[in-house]
Chain A
Amino acid sequence: MSDQRTSAALEASPEYKWGFTTDIEQELVPKGLNEDVIRLISSKKNEPEWMLELRLKAFRHWLTLTEPAWARVSYPKVDFQDISYYAAPKKDKARKSLDELDPELLKTFEKLGIPLQEQKRISGVAMDVVFDSVSVGTTHQEVLEKAGVIFCSISEAITKHSDLVKKYFGTVVPYADNFYAALNAAVFTDGSFCYIPKGVRCPVDLSTYFRINAKDTGQFERTLLIAEEGSYVNYLEGCTAPQRDENQLHAAVVELIAMENAEIKYSTVQNWYTGDKEGRGGIYNFVTKRGKCAGKNSKISWTQVEAGSAITWKYPSVILQGDNSEGMFYSVALTHDKMQADTGTKMIHIGKNTKSTIISKGISTGESSNAYRGLVKIMPSAENARNYSQCDSMLVGDRCSAHTFPSIEVKNKTATIEHEATTSRLSEDQLFYLQSRGLDQEKAISMLVNGFCKQVFKELPLEFSVEAVKLIEMKLENSVG
């Protein structure tokens, strides 16, 4: 269906080297959204009846909702009937291992720095790879199986581990939560599922890489991660998409559940296509991520480096239900050219002695707009809750903007809340100081920005933090100077 394109058209621009397109035969559901499309998605995935019912319920609810307009972003209305809700590379025969994947796909992921073939894999990280609407495979299955860890695509989990999925799906982000959560529950196509059994420290880091390739599609990823009592997992997520003049929608839902004494670290480097300098094209990244510290002493941390998308609308949150539980949010959001980001977190304190930390660093350049929006809520039951929030914004140039919208609701007098916020300009004086010691402008800027983001970068796993630093430096090089 799409084999005649020239290779020149597939090349990415130097500003966004991930912007190429993979020429692969694909199965595409016609544009439009209705119950038949949902039934079709469900049947393609051989889902049990309960899942289809849930999808339809979510869809019927979604029809009653209107798009939220409170975020500090503006964009033309999304036409939900003009999107194809399912795109998958065509499989000609059943394959036994990732090595038998379509060579075009293998090449694509290699180009993205994600080698999938056995001998080339990144050691210590198990990968689930989602291409458009489907997971194309998960690495390191043997070592995970040995530890009793389940790590597979959510589609596979729905059929193979139906009871587990049924028990937890939608318990942290119910479909009625918001407009995009309802849409996601109705049409989600793939994503990752992880289950870490009691007392297990996951032997490798788990990682999902999301790639949008097909045109005029939306990606609706659904991730569910359950850490049983006393377990630990480090989860990483990355994403890229081709360069196109049309906007594409990515509306994901991620749910995390940490039982007693369990710890989940969830890190994201978000690098969706941002659109060009005039603001044409780019991904709309409308995401609901939430974790629940269900058990005592549990911990959930979100670390995000948001460097892509035309529009980001994302608030990874933690519900601190178990006593002594702890939630953390570390974020670097970089916007350039005409990008718009409205991101932050919610920390909901329910249990006693619960603690939350919020460190948000926003960098705006070009004509972009970068907003932090956060809520810290201390419920009446949360004795001795503590929160520390720090929101710093850095402006580069004089056409960008930074905004901070913190809300604090305290319903228990024993709470301790601290909030600090600063806005600064990448100052000529700082830049000059470093340059006058022999650093060229590029090195000086990257030193200043890395210094500014240090509290967040140090929370990322090492390889990821190196990647993140390089990504931010590259984006700044293109936008400053």
Chain B
Amino acid sequence: MLEIRNLRAKVGDKEVLKGLNLTIKAGEVHAIMGPNGAGKSTLSKILAGHPAYEVTEGEVLFDINFKMTNLLELGPDERAKEGVFLAYQYPVEVPGVSNLSFLHMAFNAIVEHQGSEPMNEEDFRRFMLEKMKLVGMKPDFLERPVNVGFSGGEKKRNEILQMAVLSPRLAVLDETDSGLDIDALRVVSDGVNKLRRPDNAILLITHYQRLLDYIKPDFVHVLADGKIVETGDAALALKLEKQGYDWLL
């Protein structure tokens, strides 16, 4: 579903990714771990299409209608419409815009692109209320402005809710576990697990092994100095937890 080939990228003058390769198939869950500054968040921003990151080499191929298409040629909104989703490490506040109207507009933009009828507001509200149960959100959430005044945990739950509503084929979760207490971590992980399907894939970016206690990955990769330096199964994460990254660097 996703094939990253020899990806090099920079932010400003600094090269952050230095020839990264990664292949993800439908139905799989991959985890990327690595020390600070390895390029983990850069990878997630590039997949979503953030304009501040410049790709200097390589390609990112994504399966669109059975055709591997270079994602880098699509704008961020077009990627979202094709089913790419980024759960942000630091979700952004949008004052004056309610969660309901924001997600309603996003949802309709995506389904219309995929050739389905848009949903009216009444139906969408019902649909949302159903999805909100998944992450334990109260109904008043709908009218609150996007992420404004949300606690750290609420912001992360909101990201997972958006993922549930927009139903992406490829979800990239950037440090979704950071800043969560154990209860919130469980809620968020349960939400993610319920969204696992044979036809979608999840890429978890994380610092800590503990998230992987809740969401079982099929593959664990270590990203260091802009490259994948080690790949294994869930056991690799446990080893990293014990031994740190030094043995790989």
Contact = CB atoms under 8 A, between A and B. Distances in A.
Do A and B form a real pair?
yes
Interface of A: 427-430, 432-441, 443-444, 447-448, 450-455
Contacts of A450: 96-97
B80 A455 contact: no
Contacts of B92: 427, 429-430, 432-433
A436 B96 contact: no
B155 to A, nearest CB: 12
B91 interface: yes
Given A433-B88, A435-B75, A455 B96 contact: yes
B118 interface: no
A437 B166 contact: yes
Interface in B62-112: 75-77, 79-81, 85-86, 88, 91-97, 102-103, 105-107, 109-110
Nearest to A454: B96
B221 to A, nearest CB: 23
A434 B75 CA distance: 12
Shortest beta-carbon contacts, A-B, top 9: A451-B96, A438-B80, A454-B96, A451-B97, A433-B92, A437-B106, A435-B76, A438-B109, A438-B110
A448 B77 contact: no
A433 B48 CA distance: 10
A304 to B, nearest CB: 18
Contact of B52 (A428, A437, A439, A453): A428
A435 B52 CA distance: 14
Given A437-B162, A438-B113, A443-B105, A432 B97 contact: no
Contacts, number: 81
A438 B94 contact: no
B90 to A, nearest CB: 8
A100 to B, nearest CB: 46
Contacts of B166: 437-438
B102 A436 contact: no
B69 to A, nearest CB: 17
B: interface residue count bin: 20 to 34
A395 to B, nearest CB: 15
B50 interface: yes
21 contacts: A428-B51, A432-B92, A433-B94, A434-B106, A435-B49, A435-B80, A436-B49, A436-B77, A437-B106, A437-B162, A437-B166, A438-B80, A438-B106, A438-B109, A439-B109, A440-B75, A440-B109, A441-B75, A447-B94, A452-B95, A452-B96
B35 interface: no
A427 B48 CA distance: 17
Contacts of A447: 94, 97, 102, 105
Contacts of B80: 435-438
Contact of A441 (B77, B105, B145): B77
A435 B77 contact: yes
A440 B77 contact: yes
A423 to B, nearest CB: 14
A455 B75 CA distance: 32
Nearest to B88: A433
A49 B110 CA distance: 69
Contacts of A444: 77
Given A438-B110, A443-B105, A443-B109, A432 B96 contact: no
